[in-house]
Structure 1
Amino acid sequence: MAEDESPLIKALPPESDYLTYLTIIEYNLSQENLPLLHRVLQDETLAVNIGWDLVHLLVPYLPESEQCLQDIARLGNPREVILKVTESLRLIEYESLDQDIDGPVEHALTGTPDTRVRADSSTYPIKTAPTADGEKRPGSSQMVELPPPLPLPVSQFIALLSMLSTLHARIKAKYPSRFLSTTLQAVLASFSNATTHREEMIQAIVRTVKSVAGVQRPILPARKSSGMLSSIPAVGDAPAGDPEGTTSREISTEEVSMQRKLLQSFVTHIVEQYMLNLPSSPAEDVPGMAWCTRIMESTYPELVIPGKQTISEHFQRDEGLHRRIDAIGQLVTLGRDLKLSDETLLTAAIAVEKVPAVSGSQDEDEPPASAEDIPLSRIGALLLYTARQAAGMLYDTKPAIVSTIPFAIFPDHQEILKRTLSASSPAAGTGTLGTEPESLIDAVLALGLVCLQHDSIGEPSSDEQFNEYLQVVALLSSNCPSPNLRGHAHYLTSTVLRSHPDETVRLAFIRDTLEHCPFENLKVSAVGWIKGETIEANPPSHSADHHHTNEQSESVGYEPSIFAKPLALESLAPFLFPTLHAELVTAPVIEAWQTFQAGFSFYLASLNFLYLLLCAKHLHHSLEIRDLWTDSDIAGSFLQPLRDASARFRKELTPNGALAEEVSDRTHAELNLLDETLHRVTNAVRLLNE
């Protein structure tokens, strides 16, 4: 059919009224006549009258319909079109992204006809395309790799945001923040529903926010395989003005502040949505951005296992992980472009969220009345602040990028723990601490590691505050499903514990953990803490005359370490080497077995510490190990019940025994390890008499 014979040409107004012409377009719209519609829409009067009603018709035809959508954004009534664009953003259906990508994709907007099958790959760019010098001669072209096509819902999101960039620039109103508020809510709602391709969407978001805010900084190109923004069209002719706008009124300072605060708040909410929904891979154990591990690898390269790929290398080589770095990097840069200061982010991170008063007439979509009414996302602000600090350490950026706002373990990091994680205090319980998103736990712990690297511990206001901080972080080292995060929480706990100058406070915390902590793996950590204190306070160079040296030191006013005296071990002995007869020997065998399984790691840790005390002869006199062995009845109350329990369990771990269902290679290996350790400890006892 000749173009002149097309209904899109023959029915052009004034041949038909605008409503009739719109109906004709709806019934005749196809992929083939999109170029013709693009030509028709160059008529500004036509675009103003029907443009906003075409948006929902054209969105299902993306990416081929981009030119037409841009025509509408450029020439249609911006106030009407922007309402349709925000409505379309909210209606994007991302469920198809979770389905088989090779299967047919359903229509992506609620209420729109399924006018074509999106599985037709011919509508997308092929994976390779020729490049030529314009002459069709041999050797003038070559094949170059193109990014893979984006799914329809993602293409819709990107194209609609591209329209918003044009539309917001066109609107001339006294209160443009009212349009901006509605737009940002729709973008955030749509982004929150997406499950894949979020990095591509973030680049579109960054581009749009920069356009609205007037930021001139160019966006860094994405990796070629990401497919980011492949559907954004080139800028065409200049957009039309706002037919309802006025240029005589200047925008007030308050209105400018409102727009900036809206954009700042939006960025923090995008950061929160992106970070808290990063996919986790338990097999790889890469929590979120893995800031903790990458900081430790950067700070202590000597601890990296030779020949083993580091997490930092994994982020560089793995396409998906590297795109996380790209996305967060763009959001960090955008936050700076929007003048989001560290002080502002920290204030928001520890703010107490206000619960709005319940009012039947209150409209949740009502625009804010002032910039002060626009809150930043508390979690998003924390994550953005952490990203800045991590960048300063990982990439050796200029000092200006690192916060000049004082931030220390006490009180700042402790306040972050209270406001961010599930347990604000030990009294809050231990049921949910450690179950937060891994990316959030990683960020919180990373801030603590940054403090340690900067030697920024601060001063706890009281011993109670000190203990509360350690209890929360120690519980993280026990409860986190990620071994990676448990290790970093343990390192942070141990380092902060050792930082307290008062040895009695450190001893009291170790004792409290051993005596009251319900988590056996945390008690294992406590054994490690007392072992470290003992070794440091009693170096091997202090021989048998160490007691005499202590007396001389006291005579000149020097007080030796409490861990160099028998008192520390005496006070901890009932918890380091507890009486186990009732729990493991006389209790019903099933119950005893459950107790043994729960405490196995702790029993081994205590046995190994005991072996150290027996073998390190330089400790025998100064710490009175022989009296400790005798007075605490370690042989009878701790060692013998473990021997008896091992024999009892072996007897029941038979086909006809009470523990027949528990038989496995692991259970036998545990009992063998226990017996071997008990044998080594027993043989070392003779050293007390030498």
Structure 2
Amino acid sequence: MPTEGESPLIKALPPASDYLTYLTIIEYNLTPENLPILHKVLQDEKLTTNIGWDLVHLLVPYLPESEPCLRDIARLGNPREVILKVTESLRLIDYESLDEDAEPPSASDVKSRAETSTYPLKTAEISNGRARAGSSQAVELPPPLPLPVNQFVALLTMLSILQPRIKTKYPSRFLSTTLQAILASFSNAPAYREEMAEAIVKTIKSVTGILRPTLPSRKSSGMLKSNELYSSEPAADPEGETVESSVEESDMQTKLLQAFVTHIIEEYMLNFPPYDDVPGMAWCSRIMEKVHPERTVPEQPTFKDRFASEERLHRRIDTIGQMVTLAQDLGITDQELLDAAATDEKAADHDGDEDEPPSSAADVPLSRLGSTLLYTARQASAVLYNRPEGSDRPFEIFPDHQELLKHCLAGAEMGTGLLGTEPEALIDSALALGLVCLERNAIGNPGTDEQFTEYLQVIALLSANCPNANLRGHAHYLTSTVLRSQPDEEVRLGFIRDTLEHCPFENLKVSAVGWIKGETIEANPPTPIPGHAHDKAADEDQKSIFAKSLALESLAPHLFPSLLADLVTAPVQEAWMTFQTNVSFYLASLNFLYLLLQAKHIHENLEIRDIWSNNDVAGSFLQPLKDAKARFLKEMEAGGTLADEKSETAVAELTLLEETVGRVTKTVGNLNEP
């Protein structure tokens, strides 16, 4: 094996060859074995200043072994040239080898990979402060990362050294280009985003001089030991200008970093890989578990416990926690986040060419959705961890939450079919803010009845349209609670009627049946409330609208619709599709009807007998359901039109329908009793 002095990297050193020739020699002789020699060569500041930037693309494929050489280039190379090469290399990282569903290996995998990994997994034993030859011991180091992630982390560490070295009147121009490259590269990575986000946080802290320590990462983090990169002082900028940074330039850099953090949060959260039906950060579920523990299902793991014990979920909390802390250190206020969240922004193309540097801090917008997510993280943390709210003014359902929903969810002009199809993390965030408002009793005051109804329509559509059952449940709770907060009974009744009459979603109509059932039960207690005995005329004036017949009379045609044409006379295939679509609504209405017939104390006040006869409930609602059940079962026999539809589930639905109709029919006699 040739000695160090015989190495071409030593023998060809300038002035033995010119810089261009020496670069060619390095390229043809670069091997992992030669990296220590190159590291020693690059301690020459003049040499590294002249050739460093051309070495970046050669060294990146050799990570992590080439890390010391890249450190040398960041410390001693021309920072203006090197930073351009680093940002270019960031954009060229090939993430195709990363599996989108890949999980970083846990600490328990380290031992099994020790034999094959190029990562240093053992170190010499120390005795009295000195290495003892011939002995070694295993140490717990993070497991190795894939090459593309190593490249991202190493290049960001270089940037954290390079950016402060640039001494120019407008360093924000370099910073703008740098941040765009980081965001573009981060957006392309399908996995290992927590490791990359941690590298981003460290880089921003280094660039800004933030002294707050980085939160300790999980053992599976696999981060490079970036602290080692600061063992030597970086060289001065050879082209540096002796100018003091202006206030405008300082503001520009701060705004660039603030905007960057919000864009990273948006990119990170809105692209969570699917994981065991967990919507984003599950803020809604964790808030409900905190404020309403009685609603949790016994003997089922809570989301709080899952985020504490499951590695993938805990890593999400770690990452968002670091981002929230960084945003606080950068001075982003709640009001700035709310202003940005309610501002329309043009779509940014992070994969295309870099944008021109902004001319002023005012030209740097925060991410609209990223601001929404960051604001929610702050508010949710205040509830989950009993922290002070910290806002200058309260955030209320009306008008704050309503206005925010208009900008972060699909608007009406895009069609109701799109509402609820947004990323689950965004829907969870939007609903969580509403739950926070409920917890703080911050309903506010809707300007008009129309604004109140519009808000409920949006939340109600989420409860019907969102694919995630967990989020649908939270949307239903928010809708029901805000609906009950409306003191005007006419407005509440109008919303229920509008939902039953016009809503195309069967599950939302089921909710509407539940709302009117709740209103009816509350307004008609089985025994008089003590202390409410007044003369009959006065009582009638003060009665709730739901304690009178008017409410049910207006809803009856929609609660108990005529089903003859839909289920009996329609072609059997069409009738079956209609039945399948609306069976939950039919059952909900039947159960409500049973309650009305069974509760004799309400028959007189609500005029149940008249509602029954005037709407021909028996002939137009109950009988078609009976006939449809018999029709469908007959057609499901061998050779029938619905033979392919027969299944245990279908037969069970029809059997349940028959039993429910039978139970209702048996209570009809109560109408004839005094």
TM superposition score category, shorter chain reference: over 0.9
AA matched with 1:326: D
Q: Is the 8 A contact 1:125 1:149 kept in 2?
A: no
Q: Which residue of 2 aligns with 1:108?
A: none
AA matched with 1:23: T
Match of 1:419 among 396, 404, 407: 407
Q: Which residue of 1 aligns with 2:588?
A: 605
Is residue 418 of structure 2 the alignment partner of residue 432 of structure 1? Answer: yes
Q: Which residue of 2 aligns with 1:152?
A: 147
Is residue 248 of structure 2 the alignment partner of residue 260 of structure 1? Answer: no
Q: Is the 8 A contact 1:158 1:232 kept in 2?
A: no
1:232 deviates by 5.8
The separation in 1 between residues aligned to 2:100 and 2:399, in whole angstroms, is 48
For residues 637-675 of structure 1, give each alpha carbon's deviation from its aligned partner in whole angstroms, at most 9, with x where no partner exists. Answer: 100000000000010011211001101111000000000
Q: Which residue of 2 aligns with 1:115?
A: none
Q: Which residue of 1 aligns with 2:320?
A: 328
Q: Which residue of 2 aligns with 1:107?
A: none
The separation in 2 between residues aligned to 1:64 and 1:15, in whole angstroms, is 27
Structure 1: which 5+ runs fail to align?
A: 103-118, 357-361
AA matched with 1:86: T
Is residue 209 of structure 2 the alignment partner of residue 223 of structure 1? Answer: no
Q: Is the 8 A contact 2:125 2:132 kept in 1?
A: no
1:309 deviates by 0.5
Q: Which residue of 2 aligns with 1:553?
A: 538
1:220 deviates by 1.2
AA matched with 1:378: R
1:614 deviates by 1.1
Q: Which residue of 2 aligns with 1:621?
A: 604
Structure 1 pair 100–39 and aligned structure 2 pair: CA distance change class (3 A):
farther
Q: Which residue of 2 aligns with 1:378?
A: 368
The separation in 1 between residues aligned to 2:535 and 2:21, in whole angstroms, is 102
Is residue 398 of structure 2 the alignment partner of residue 403 of structure 1? Answer: no
AA matched with 1:241: A
- Per mean C-alpha deviation after superposition, the further-off stretch among 404-413 and 531-540 is 404-413
Structure 1 pair 496–5 and aligned structure 2 pair: CA distance change class (3 A):
same
Q: Which residue of 2 aligns with 1:563?
A: 546
AA matched with 2:478: L
Structure 1 pair 124–101 and aligned structure 2 pair: CA distance change class (3 A):
farther
Is residue 436 of structure 2 the alignment partner of residue 454 of structure 1? Answer: no
Say what the alpha-carbon RMSD is for the aligned residues.
Answer: 2.3
Aligned to 1:123, the other structure's residue is in SS state coil
Aligned to 1:97, the other structure's residue is in SS state coil
1:130 deviates by 7.2
Structure 1 pair 132–608 and aligned structure 2 pair: CA distance change class (3 A):
farther
1:404 deviates by 2.8
1:146 deviates by 2.8
The separation in 1 between residues aligned to 2:169 and 2:376, in whole angstroms, is 37
1:402 deviates by 3.4
Q: Which residue of 2 aligns with 1:197?
A: 192
The separation in 2 between residues aligned to 1:549 and 1:93, in whole angstroms, is 80
AA matched with 2:401: H
Task: Map 1:203-282 onto structure 2 (within 5 A).
Answer: 203-230=198-225, 233-247=228-242, 249-281=243-275
Structure 2: which 5+ runs fail to align?
A: 104-113
Is residue 525 of structure 2 the alignment partner of residue 542 of structure 1? Answer: no
Q: Which residue of 1 aligns with 2:643?
A: 660
Task: Map 1:94-243 onto structure 2 (within 5 A).
Answer: 94-98=95-99, 121-126=116-121, 132-133=126-127, 143-230=138-225, 233-243=228-238
1:420 deviates by 1.0
Structure 1 pair 120–87 and aligned structure 2 pair: CA distance change class (3 A):
farther
Q: Is the 8 A contact 2:124 2:135 kept in 1?
A: no
1:594 deviates by 0.5
Aligned to 1:471, the other structure's residue is in SS state helix
Is residue 387 of structure 2 the alignment partner of residue 393 of structure 1? Answer: no
Match of 1:500 among 478, 486, 490: 486
Is residue 570 of structure 2 the alignment partner of residue 587 of structure 1? Answer: yes
Q: Is the 8 A contact 1:349 1:416 kept in 2?
A: yes
Q: Is the 8 A contact 2:100 2:190 kept in 1?
A: no
The separation in 1 between residues aligned to 2:576 and 2:298, in whole angstroms, is 40
The separation in 1 between residues aligned to 2:77 and 2:229, in whole angstroms, is 18
The separation in 1 between residues aligned to 2:179 and 2:535, in whole angstroms, is 70
Aligned to 2:120, the other structure's residue is in SS state coil
Q: TM-score if structure 2 supplies the norm length?
A: 0.94
1:308 deviates by 1.2
The separation in 2 between residues aligned to 1:519 and 1:130, in whole angstroms, is 68
Q: Which residue of 1 aligns with 2:65?
A: 64
Is residue 624 of structure 2 the alignment partner of residue 638 of structure 1? Answer: no
Structure 1 pair 254–363 and aligned structure 2 pair: CA distance change class (3 A):
farther
1:678 deviates by 0.5
1:353 deviates by 2.3
Task: Map 1:337-356 onto structure 2 (within 5 A).
Answer: 337-353=329-345
For residues 12-71 of structure 1, give each alpha carbon's deviation from its aligned partner in whole angstroms, at most 9, with x where no partner exists. Answer: 100110111111111101101111111110000000010000000000000011100000
The separation in 1 between residues aligned to 2:124 and 2:281, in whole angstroms, is 38
1:417 deviates by 1.1
Aligned to 1:96, the other structure's residue is in SS state coil
Q: Is the 8 A contact 1:350 1:419 kept in 2?
A: yes
Q: Is the 8 A contact 2:126 2:132 kept in 1?
A: no
Structure 1 pair 406–589 and aligned structure 2 pair: CA distance change class (3 A):
same
Q: Is the 8 A contact 1:389 1:403 kept in 2?
A: no
Q: Is the 8 A contact 2:32 2:65 kept in 1?
A: yes
AA matched with 1:679: G
The separation in 2 between residues aligned to 1:17 and 1:64, in whole angstroms, is 27
Structure 1 pair 375–366 and aligned structure 2 pair: CA distance change class (3 A):
same
The separation in 2 between residues aligned to 1:138 and 1:78, in whole angstroms, is 40
For residues 98-150 of structure 1, give each alpha carbon's deviation from its aligned partner in whole angstroms, at most 9, with x where no partner exists. Answer: 29989xxxxxxxxxxxxxxxx99442234x76755468999997544332111
Aligned to 1:649, the other structure's residue is in SS state helix
Q: Is the 8 A contact 1:442 1:485 kept in 2?
A: yes
The separation in 2 between residues aligned to 1:678 and 1:101, in whole angstroms, is 52
Q: Which residue of 1 aligns with 2:502?
A: 516
For residues 363-401 of structure 1, give each alpha carbon's deviation from its aligned partner in whole angstroms, at most 9, with x where no partner exists. Answer: 85211000001111100011000000011111112x1x5
Q: Is the 8 A contact 2:100 2:191 kept in 1?
A: no
For residues 231-276 of structure 1, give each alpha carbon's deviation from its aligned partner in whole angstroms, at most 9, with x where no partner exists. Answer: 66342211100000022x1111000000000000000000000000
AA matched with 2:611: L
The separation in 1 between residues aligned to 2:169 and 2:302, in whole angstroms, is 54
The separation in 2 between residues aligned to 1:139 and 1:569, in whole angstroms, is 89
For residues 463-489 of structure 1, give each alpha carbon's deviation from its aligned partner in whole angstroms, at most 9, with x where no partner exists. Answer: 111111111111100010000010011
AA matched with 1:81: V
Q: Is the 8 A contact 1:87 1:186 kept in 2?
A: yes
Aligned to 1:541, the other structure's residue is in SS state coil
Task: Map 1:287-306 onto structure 2 (within 5 A).
Answer: 287-306=279-298
Q: Is the 8 A contact 1:147 1:225 kept in 2?
A: yes
Q: Which residue of 1 aligns with 2:27?
A: 26
Is residue 665 of structure 2 the alignment partner of residue 682 of structure 1? Answer: yes
Structure 1 pair 137–155 and aligned structure 2 pair: CA distance change class (3 A):
closer
Structure 1 pair 3–101 and aligned structure 2 pair: CA distance change class (3 A):
farther
1:411 deviates by 1.0
Aligned to 2:89, the other structure's residue is in SS state helix
AA matched with 2:260: F
Structure 1 pair 404–131 and aligned structure 2 pair: CA distance change class (3 A):
farther
Q: Which residue of 2 aligns with 1:650?
A: 633
* Residue correspondences, number: 657
Structure 1 pair 27–501 and aligned structure 2 pair: CA distance change class (3 A):
same
1:429 deviates by 2.3
What's the % identity of the aligned pairs?
68
Structure 1 pair 659–101 and aligned structure 2 pair: CA distance change class (3 A):
closer
1:623 deviates by 1.2
AA matched with 1:250: E
The separation in 2 between residues aligned to 1:354 and 1:650, in whole angstroms, is 56
Match of 1:471 among 442, 451, 457: 457
